[in-house]
Structure 1
Amino acid sequence: MLETPLRVNRTFSDGSKAHIGTLAENRAGTYFQFDENYLAQHPTSIAPFNIKADLTLQKAPKQPHYGIHGVFGDSLPDGWGLHLMDRVFRQNGYNPQLITALERLAYIGDQCLGALSYEPEMHLLEADSRDVELVTLGQEAVKEFEGTESKLIEQLMNAAGSGGARPKLNVTKTSDGQFSTHANATGEKLIVKLTSEKFDLKHSESLVEYAYMQMASNLGIETPKFELIEASAGRMWLQQTRFDCTPQGKRHMISACGLLDAPFREPSLDYVDLVKATRMLCGVGEARKLVKRALFNFITVNQDDHAKNFAFLADDNDQWRLSPFYDIVYSPSPYKQHMTSFNGNGSSPKQALNILAGQAGYSSDKPLREMLEEIYQQSRSFTQEAKNLGIPNQLLTSIDNQMTEKWNSLR
């Protein structure tokens, strides 16, 4: 248990910082309190649906974020980052099962996705100034993920970031075109998504995700800037620009999981509710964008559409919008159900189109049906793009056939 309070800070787009408030824990739970000076400048909450913008002491729910509020839960790593963090704790004589969420936040410090950071930091590893070459560090990450312990645990931990169950690297592309794993390096902040034989799509996953992002972009759906980079043995990794970063600072970000205090490891959301929440937070224009993303997920069989795969960004004046579309890849569920359902139906939006249209401010479901046709027609480019990328024929044929099945099921 953390004996001293944890200060929560926010980095703005110009790199300036402000003290938001304080987190503290005791045997009864975890509590957050806003800083009075912060509220005087920013009278709206960093988590508008579940933290009040006032000076009261606000207790976090026990579930689903390890006993802390969802917006702070977003700062905690997922499967890959937790694995690395637990290795570090064990190496230093700590039982990870006894480490509280606040202690984990103290260890993460300022190495979070989004604009939040925490102090005082907990330091467990000795400083190592080596800047490991990108492909070498990526190969080490894949080895670690596949079961062979890496000796570069500090560099992997520093580059792990907060999000994702699978291995990835947070790096900086400097002005000379090189990649740096130093957190304070100057340049374009990127996420490099690695591949593994343990993935369902094995080393084709980056190629399929690239093709999906290209389809989404062609449909006018905002995505992060993305490209493929060559790894070893002819394999490719997917590089994406971090949308929580600006040239000088950060943007505040919250996932749907954090915004709504929703679990993400099991089905917990419905697109009807998510569209409504988006309209309330961001306005009807952003709600309509989310509808199109939901329909894209349906046609393209992206069924791993859980609560952490939707996010919102706030500017320095706390005006909210949808983040760019991310984690979009062919991911069929063995149960043939989406993690986020369509008015209670996990397999199809067919019966939910009218209610989704209403939540997005449309007078009928005609615009949604037009979106579905547009998405399906764009998906007809997938096979050729997949061939150009070198995706195996059996896989690309299976994906294409399933997209056609989804479209035909709507008739």
Structure 2
Amino acid sequence: MKKAKAADGKPFQGVQKLSVSLDFYGEKIDVGTLAWSKDERRAYFEYHPDFAEKRLNVSPFKLPVSEGAKAAPNSPFAGLHGMLNDSLPDGWGRLLLDRYLQKLGYDFRLLTPLDRLAYVGQVGMGALRYVPDNSLSKTDDAAIDLDWFAAQAEAVQGEVDEADVDRLLEIQGGSAGVRPKIMIGLNRKTGKFVADDGTDLPEGFDAWLVKFKSNVDPSEIGKEEYAYSLMAKAAGVDMPATKLIETKKGSYFAVQRFDRTESGSAHVQTVSGLLEADHRAPSIDYDTLLKVTRLLTRDERHVRQMFVRMVFNVLAHNRDDHAKNHAFLMAKDGVWHPTPAYDLTLSEGPGGEHNLAVDGEGKNPTKKHILKVAENASIPRAEAEQVFEQVQRAVDRWAEYAKEAGLSERRLQEIDRLLNKRGPTTAPDVDISPSP
């Protein structure tokens, strides 16, 4: 294969081996070594000899701690193990890296997953860290203008060469999903915020994520997602802190990061990473999600919480509920529990169906299908009925959350017609964000 070369003729040096570690609540732990096989087009991972002593089962289903090198499957993650694939940006983050390398004159299509992990380096989501670290050097200027970033994000999506790709890439934090986003440090007492480039934040500032509008989103997506976060919390869904940041030119949805704590970074794995399940197409269902929750956490309270989220996604028409939009976090003692919910919006799934089927039904799941999933998960019918009614009451109050978020009356009523069947039946179709 012909090597990629930069504009100055210098060949691109691909990464053949990576050291993998955990920044686990402030403690650096050597996890293992990742190597790339050119001939097989897949990676091999071997745990560090001392890692077993830590008793941290970082990927219990597909990459359990044991001796010897373990080959990754060729699919669904282009020859990478699921645990490590969770570190790779997709959607927005991948687009930025591709644009950055293209600007340098490299053919980004020749990058292996290990090359991309090296660009994640020490600043990715979760606690996994990679050496060599090819992530961008940090700027000294911590000043941040959300309107400027929103304009830059729009320029990148519009193929505008003048976009400051370097700055956007520097603080996208290895984030996933199609929506443009940046990482910030927010002081909730003063309302001030600074750019979060992966280094230590100033005292009094917490790690938050701010989202911008993609080129396929409804015009009021920031307010809309904030209203959904309020509705989800009222429905009993465990939510992180959320905020709507208003500026002169826009309204931006912000959410506190659950992978960053006062004592350091937390290890997080999506269901996609845990099961090596493709998140770009339907690959598991809600029965599987509840089974995984029970096996991983051994706590029935967490199984009930995942059931609440399923009911909310059905009644609130969040069909972008794929395997990467459900995740688990490992506590300091190695015990797993579900992360707070995230990416809850009005959305369509593939072909207008839920990514995760409900008792085999993806397009029009009903209460009957929901109760069957509860039965399969050994959740008492009376308890399942109670959850359904609780979520239904919250969704029925959609207008309250929409008004609190400042959503326009037109958009409020459009969504109310879809969720609660109120309003004229001849109204135009509702603008819904497609799945990434």
TM-score scaled by length of structure 1: 0.91
Q: Distance in 1 between matches of 2:368 and 2:162?
A: 50
1:132 positional shift: 4.1
Q: Which of residues 11, 24, 31 is equivalent to 2:35? A: 24
The residue aligned with 1:200 is 217
What SS is found at the alignment partner of 1:340?
coil
Q: 1:356-395 residue pairs with structure 2 within 5 A? A: 356-363=373-380, 365-395=381-411
Q: 1:10-409 residue pairs with structure 2 within 5 A? A: 10-13=22-25, 15-26=26-37, 27-28=39-40, 29-42=42-55, 44-122=56-134, 128-135=139-146, 136-161=148-173, 162-174=175-187, 177-181=191-195, 182-186=197-201, 187-196=205-214, 198-202=215-219, 204-233=220-249, 235-283=250-298, 284-333=300-349, 335-347=351-363, 348-363=365-380, 365-405=381-421
Q: Distance in 1 between matches of 2:85 and 2:418?
A: 35
1:399 and 1:276, CA in 2 relative to 1: closer, same or farther beyond 3 A? same
Structure 1 unaligned residues grouped into runs of 5+? 407-411
The CA RMSD over aligned residues, in Å, is 2.1
Q: Distance in 2 between matches of 1:134 and 1:185?
A: 20
1:126 and 1:240, CA in 2 relative to 1: closer, same or farther beyond 3 A? closer
TM-score scaled by length of structure 2: 0.86
Moved more, 384-393 or 336-345: 384-393
1:260 partner amino acid: L
1:4 positional shift: 4.1
2:247 partner amino acid: A
1:227 partner amino acid: K
The C-alpha deviation readout for 1:15-58, integer Å capped at 9, x for no partner, is 1211111100112221011111111122x431111012101211
Structure 2 unaligned residues grouped into runs of 5+? 1-12, 423-436
Q: Distance in 1 between matches of 2:68 and 2:366?
A: 42
What SS is found at the alignment partner of 2:122?
coil
Q: Distance in 2 between matches of 1:33 and 1:117?
A: 15
1:270 positional shift: 0.3
Q: Distance in 1 between matches of 2:31 and 2:137?
A: 29
Identity %: 31
Q: Distance in 2 between matches of 1:336 and 1:83?
A: 25
The residue aligned with 2:434 is none
